[in-house]
Structure 1
Amino acid sequence: MAKAFLPPGFRFHPTDVELVWYYLKRKIMGKPFHFEAIAEVELYKFAPWDLPDKSQLLSKDLEWYFFCPRDKKYPNGSRINRATDIGYWKATGRDRYVIHDSQTVGMKKTLVFY
């Protein structure tokens, strides 16, 4: 898919609720987007310095958004495979919940690359 060049002044900064309720929900339901702002990337296979080139939006912002399929470490296990050829991603800190109308609609994790 072609990368989108943003017009001057345009910024893609959705809230956590918008990411879950609009983008992720539409992705899961197979509904099309009016504007392809989020690329699907096997995030865990790349080092952080490789990610800006994988972004759907070409901008100088230091935030990128991706849909990432989860690859299990073992076929019957629940652990996620986050290893790359040169390192690995590790979840750190507490999970943070995305709340909408007093209900938990999602969860955020912080990942650090080692």
Structure 2
Amino acid sequence: MVGKNSSEHLPPGFRFHPTDEELIMYYLPNQATSRPCPVSIIPEFDVYKFDPWQLPGLKIWIRPNRAAVSGYWKATGTDKAIYSGSTYVGIKKALVFLQRKVP
């Protein structure tokens, strides 16, 4: 998890807006092999344990079990393919929160 002090090492005005391709090609391999990212700017936590209205108050963002306290996250829509050049490297899913018991 990222602590408050990690952002103190970043320059003023720093914004982190990686593309889907950059996340998969440059950051996910470090995560998958338990290597640290160059800068601790990507926190790790289980988003599925929270209801959607709890997320904005958290200073952290990132299948497990999609059940939350008062409902569950369900995949919806069409999956989006992620490419690096012409090579397929991953998929992006859209999720909706349903406030009811898991079927």
Smaller-chain TM-score bracket? 0.7 to 0.9
Which one is further off, 3-12 or 20-29?
Answer: 3-12
Q: Percent identity?
A: 53
For residues 59 and 52 of structure 2, what CA distance do their matches in structure 1 show? 10
Instruction: Report the RMSD for the aligned CA atoms in angstroms.
Output: 1.7
For residues 22 and 50 of structure 1, what CA distance do their matches in structure 2 show? 29
TM-score of the superposed pair, with normalisation by structure 2: 0.79
TM-score of the superposed pair, with normalisation by structure 1: 0.72
- Contact 1:41–1:54 (CA under 8 A) maintained in structure 2: no
User: Which residue of structure 2 aligns with residue 9 of structure 1?
Assistant: 13
For structure 1, the 5+ residue unaligned runs are 56-63, 72-80
Is residue 93 from structure 1 mapped to residue 77 from structure 2 by the alignment? yes
1:31 paired residue among 19, 32, 35: 35
User: Which residue of structure 2 aligns with residue 113 of structure 1?
Assistant: 97
For residues 49 and 23 of structure 1, what CA distance do their matches in structure 2 show? 27
Higher helix share: 2
For structure 2, the 5+ residue unaligned runs are 99-103
- Contact 1:47–1:84 (CA under 8 A) maintained in structure 2: yes
Runs of 4+ in structure 1 deviating by more than 6 angstroms, as ranges, are none
How many pairs were matched up?
Answer: 93
For residues 29 and 48 of structure 1, what CA distance do their matches in structure 2 show? 29
